[in-house]
Chains A and B, each alone.
Chain A
């Protein structure tokens, strides 16, 4: 095929020039001139169009803070709600290109949401530009920005000393700020720092060289950004890793494993190992729509076929056979909390890492970090924007690498199981215990056999409701009726369990979660034994009730909500607990100073204002044995 001459010329000219894609993050407070710098880069690389400039000029006059001059902050502060309130609430991404390189800049604005925004923007960045006002020097937030960027794995830093025009382009001022920053940077493990004296407002050393600073003979900011090595290139030198996104099976003869190569390179014939199963094979083909490839490298999305028909599916990692990643189920992790609702140690969250999604629980943090002083503080939980180090356990082995080695196999998000919100982000530091050799003991006599012997279907009748609703009373009646019908039952009662199995637990949220988790595990074992298990616990949180539901076989868990108005329970106050709680002598009492989350769709709801205990028990038994 003969390509048109114009095509060839055009193609060649881009390839020669294209030095890849650099993502960076610009960090600084409003007054440091960050928005002005970004506006300057966009403007001077011709990434702004006339109509956008015209809009900007009109808006600057209407709501800007720069008088008649263009207020570049308006360009960067995108949403109407933000502009009206004068705050920015989110990360914005800006794009510009030079002849040599394409750039994506994450603009993470300041204020109270700063940590959350900055870690989001920094998670994909190769480089951080730390802005400092030449008149103010290195401030608390300069250190905070640098720490967060370093924490998220950025290894290249630019210290941009801005507003040099306002200090008469004075070299001594610049040198003093650089000398102040270096020891701090060394102290938190930032390696190379390129320091540049600039004026974003006037354009000095941003895109063009500055006549006002003949003493500075280093590169402009753009030249520096065009020349720095890319993280993606560094990843190519590491051992091969392909987290499998999906399996392509268009027909019976083709089985391809699709994914984005996280590290290394691959060629047909390479020996590979599928982790965590450990099975080995060799790469047969690298399949793309443009024909098979001879090689592929980190950063490319490919489909591999293997020489042998071995088990491999979404979540597995295809890796270099001689140097595969480990799998583990307990880790030390650094966690950044992103949600308004605090972390609940012991609660089960979804954890997504690369293409794996598992259930994970966190221990109370070992410490949290004050991002301004970098001091380590004692903490029982993490609140919004807090950063802490904690032990994390997953319900099955996770293929991983330490975050310092691999952002893809070391970075994870935590997802609330009820709201589906992304509530946390984290970085695995190291594994506490390798999981390869931990297997469950298979048993010969199964649960079906045991249930059949008892001639019944195992169930877990999970009573929930506020204190004094009548859970224990009704549960007792239900058990008596079932026993009379020759059913094998066991009643687990909240107060009794707290005298034995759970006597080490109190009534904080974390302890309540652990209480329910243990009871759930015991109920599951008893259901495995073939019993009809009846439990009577306040179990105030939906998340834990749902967790227990998921432990059981489908249909086995029967949620029974004993629904009593708080006023009724308090009036009866059989155990005198409400009076104590009201008097302030009993903390964390459900319904008074601790919430009860009503089940949205229980299998059975008993309205105690309409049914007495006897009638309620009868209804529950009828549900089981119609």
Chain B
């Protein structure tokens, strides 16, 4: 039999499935972080394939900030109902009580809702491994992140004290209280993700496809006015523009790109000639200089 070269997507898929299965074999209480975005959609799809015909043997966890796009909440509830998987939604009660929001609180918004919220949920449920959809091509400090990334009992990440990962051998052993963040999509690029979504016909939040949406422009960033909590500046008025999103988060912090790409093929064609990275639209990475994301990761951000 002559060798049939596997496509790069087949290779990436097989390696991600291998990672998902290793965690389930070696950890006690895994959970999958589900953020409703395209990477989460791909990760969930891979989990279904990895354990078929059984359902994935772990719940989904959404760390909610109450500030996601309305369309994201609709998609989340649809996915949960369709899969029959347990969906845990965690809302940080302290952030809620203090009314933390992206307009008044800047970096505190991300810290309290997401970083602290995530730690609370992991501690409360006793999860010892959490799958996340981060990729090494996203950002410089992610390029050196391990597939299995260990956190102390206080959820801190020590970039100087990570385990070497040789071949596809993952050492999942850990002391009581320590947890692992596992990134099955480590070796995928943004283009791989889109190509895979097209190949596998994975459903996505409609926000990824271009449509006329009410937006305002601030400091060169297009923000969508998704509900009436959006604070308009005096004289500022939302304008309908054809936009889509390359990455999704809290709507007041997520920049749109002008686009007419209404299909996956059109998006992939735009990707091939894209000149800016997807994280460019995320204010969260840039709020404290070049090493901002690295610092957040040390503090426990995903």
Seen from chain A, the residues whose Cβ lies within 8 Å of a Cβ on chain B are: 6-7, 9-11, 14-15, 18-21, 49-52, 55, 59, 75, 78-81, 89-95, 97, 101-102, 104, 116, 119-120, 123-124, 230, 232-234, 236-237, 245-246, 248-250, 254, 256, 258-260, 265, 287-290, 295, 297, 299-301, 303, 314, 338, 350, 352-355, 407-408, 411-413, 415, 420-422, 425
Contacts and interface: CB of A to CB of B under 8 A. Distances in A.
B3 interface: yes
A250 B15 CA distance: 23
Contacts of B186: 93
Contacts of B227: none
A248 B192 CA distance: 29
Interface string B46-59: 00111111110000
Interface string B1-42: 101111111111111011001101100000000000000000
Contacts of B97: none
Contacts of B25: 245-246, 314, 355
B275 interface: yes
Contacts of A354: 169
A198 to B, nearest CB: 24
Contact of B143 (A93, A290, A420, A422): A93
B166 A420 contact: no
A50 B275 contact: yes
A20 B6 contact: yes
A350 B13 CA distance: 29
Contacts of A95: 136-137, 187, 189
A388 B191 CA distance: 42
A209 to B, nearest CB: 23
Contacts of B136: 93, 95
Contacts of B160: 81, 89
Contact of A116 (B49, B51, B164): B164
Contact of A79 (B15, B48, B141, B195): B141
Interface stretch (B108-116, B122-130, B170-178): B170-178
B167 A10 contact: no
Contact of A59 (B10, B192, B290): B290
Interface in B159-207: 159-160, 162-169, 171, 173-175, 186-187, 189, 191-192, 195, 198-199
B265 to A, nearest CB: 5
23 contacts: A7-B198, A20-B5, A21-B6, A49-B275, A55-B290, A95-B136, A97-B8, A101-B8, A232-B6, A245-B25, A248-B53, A248-B54, A250-B55, A287-B52, A289-B49, A297-B4, A299-B6, A299-B11, A411-B166, A411-B167, A413-B171, A421-B163, A422-B164
Nearest to B273: A46
Nearest to B277: A49
Contact of A420 (B10, B174, B268): B174
B265 A407 contact: no
A7 B173 contact: no
Given A52-B277, A55-B290, A301-B17, A123 B167 contact: yes
B169 A20 contact: no
Contact of A300 (B1, B6, B173, B195): B6
Interface of B: 1, 3-15, 17-18, 21-22, 24-25, 48-55, 136-137, 140-141, 143-144, 159-160, 162-169, 171, 173-175, 186-187, 189, 191-192, 195, 198-199, 263-265, 268, 274-277, 280, 290-291, 294-295
B294 A80 contact: yes
Contacts of A420: 171, 173-175
Chain A binding site: helix, strand, loop or mixed by DSSP?
A: mixed
Contacts of B9: 18
Contacts of A51: 276-277, 280
Contacts of A287: 52-53
Contacts of B294: 79-80
B137 to A, nearest CB: 5
B53 A11 contact: no
A92 B141 CA distance: 9
B166 A119 contact: yes
Given A89-B160, A95-B189, A300 B265 contact: no
Given A6-B263, A260-B18, A21 B12 contact: yes
Given A20-B6, A295-B1, 14 more contacts: A10-B264, A20-B8, A80-B294, A90-B144, A104-B187, A236-B3, A258-B51, A260-B14, A260-B18, A288-B52, A297-B4, A299-B6, A301-B18, A353-B169
A210 B151 CA distance: 49
Contact of A97 (B143, B164, B173, B189): B189
Given A289-B48, A425-B164, A233 B189 contact: no
Nearest to B170: A352
A10 B144 contact: no
B71 to A, nearest CB: 23
Contacts of B12: 21
A81 B144 contact: no
Given A124-B167, A260-B18, A232 B195 contact: no
Question: Shortest 7 CB-CB distances between A and B: which pairs?
Answer: A80-B291, A250-B54, A102-B8, A301-B17, A289-B52, A21-B8, A233-B3
A425 B290 CA distance: 35
Contacts of B21: 245-246, 258-259, 301
B95 to A, nearest CB: 27
Contacts of A421: 163
Contacts of A93: 136, 143-144, 186-187
A166 B120 CA distance: 58
Contacts of B164: 116, 120, 338, 422, 425
Nearest to B12: A21
B150 to A, nearest CB: 9
A94 B52 CA distance: 32
Nearest to B135: A95
A95 B195 CA distance: 15
Nearest to B49: A289
B264 to A, nearest CB: 8
Among A7, A265, A314, which residue has the most Cβ atoms of chain B within 10 A?
A: A7
A78 B143 contact: yes
A318 to B, nearest CB: 15
A287 to B, nearest CB: 7
A290 B276 CA distance: 35
A230 B11 CA distance: 12
B198 A50 contact: no
A422 B146 CA distance: 13
Contacts of B48: 289
A232 B11 CA distance: 9
Contacts of B263: 6
A21 B11 contact: yes
A97 B51 CA distance: 30
Nearest to A5: B265
B168 A249 contact: no
